[in-house]
């Protein structure tokens, strides 16, 4: 005895397959939106950490750099050279901190990788069934 699914015309089966595929794509897009929102949230958090670090770092660095320059002068280094060396040390510190912050904001970290992988798997499964 044939069930109702076995006697359905090909056009109806194809329409059902397209409907299910469409529903799957909508669900995957919702997942992508959710994952992108999480990634954007991570980016905002990284920026907040950078801002917080900058707020506390600036006065601390000023004091440390002034102390370093004063120490160099006390060691007998000319004041102009001491301030130049201190400025270079400060610039190196800024470069390291900025590099860490920029590394956290790379575009690769914002890509919804799990969703893209799932979409590729869904597309492959759809190709097999059609």
Q: What is the DSSP string of 9-42?
A: -HHHHHHHHHHHHHHHHHHHHHHHHHHHHHHHHH
Are 65 and 89 in contact by the 8 Å Cβ rule? The answer is yes
pLDDT digits (tens, 9 = 90+) for 3-28: 555 677 878 888 888 888 888 888 88
Which of 67-71, 85-89, 108-112, 116-120 is predicted with the least confidence, judged by mean pLDDT? 108-112
- Domain segments of the chain: what residues? 40-129
Supply the pTM of this predicted model. Answer: 0.43
Are 86 and 72 in contact by the 8 Å Cβ rule? The answer is yes
| DSSP 3-state of 2 | coil
CB neighbour list of residue 121: distance below 8 Å, 6 or more residues apart: none
Cα separation, 71 vs 97, whole angstroms: 24
């Amino acid at each position: 005895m044939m069930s109702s699914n076995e006697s359905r015309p090909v056009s109806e089966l194809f329409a059902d397959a397209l409907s299910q595929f469409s529903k799957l794509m909508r669900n995957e897009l919702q997942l992508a939106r959710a994952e992108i929102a999480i990634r954007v949230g991570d980016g905002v958090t990284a920026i907040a950490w950078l801002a917080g670090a900058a707020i506390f770092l600036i006065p601390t660095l000023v004091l440390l750099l002034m102390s370093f320059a004063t120490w160099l002068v006390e060691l007998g280094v000319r004041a102009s050279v001491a301030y130049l060396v201190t400025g270079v040390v400060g610039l190196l510190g800024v470069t390291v901190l900025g590099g860490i912050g920029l590394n956290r904001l790379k575009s690769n970290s914002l890509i919804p990788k799990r969703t893209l992988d799932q979409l590729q798997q869904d597309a492959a499964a759809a190709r097999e069934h059609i």
